Every structure is written in C-alpha cells, then in structure tokens.
Amino acid sequence: MSVRPSNLDPKIADRLKRDPNGLVAAIVQQYDTGEVLMLGWMDDEALHRTLTTGRCTFWSRSRQEYWVKGETSGHQQWVKSVALDCDGDAVLVKADQVGAACHTGDRTCWDADVLDAVVGERPDAGS
C-alpha cells in the first residue's frame, strides 16, 4: 500500500481502512436534499484537505494527483459535514453542489443509467 505524506489527524487516520492503493471511497451527497451526487476517492491527505479547506478534494487515480472539485469546471462542492462510516472504509461528505457533479455534465453521476430491477416490498407489520 502506498501512503502519501499527510497532515491528517492521527486519530482519524488510525480509523481508516484503505484499499491497496491507500484510498477510501468518498460519497458526496447534497446536504439539503439528500441527493447522492458522486463517488470519488480520498487518501489521508485528500481527507485532511477536505476537512480543513471547506472544499471537496479527491485523489485522481488516473492522473495520480489531488484535485479540488470545481477548480477548473466551476462546479464546486462546498463542504457542510463529513462522516466516516462504521467500518472506516468510506466517507460521506454532505456538500452544497454548484452546477453539475458529474464529469459528463449531469447533475449527478447516477442520472443517465438507471437499471431495471425488481422492486421489493416490505411485508406488512402484521405478517
């Protein structure tokens, strides 16, 4: 596992369960509507920057560099809260999204390809 140098609080870093590339999944959700916007990848330093700058920062697996959402597109994400899941292998960022979250120009990364699925029904409470 390649871990890049980071200023992340060791108490947080010790809780992270990273993939073999030193990354955790970061789900971004619109803070006021609950709309799920995108999934990105964070290493310790990207999480540190997200926690300390108020802007969503990710690690680009293809470019091998940090990127701040909206730095070039103008489609910024302004951090409202950040939570680590119970296993420490994913982060939930609630943010205020400006413009499109998806690189395709869609509002979310889940707008374009909804799959057919059988819809499950919860049984009645009396059953």
Distance CA 58, CA 82 (A): 14
Between CA 104 and CA 35, with CA 32 as vertex, the angle to 5 degrees is: 40
Contact 28, 77 (CB under 8 A): yes
Residue 89, marked binder? yes
Residue 96, marked binder? no
In three-state secondary structure terms, 46 is: helix
Residue 109, marked binder? yes
Residue 86, marked binder? yes
Binding site residue list for Zn(2+) = 86, 102, 109
List the binding residues for Mg(2+): 85, 87, 89
Residue ranges for the known binding site are: 85-87, 89, 102, 109
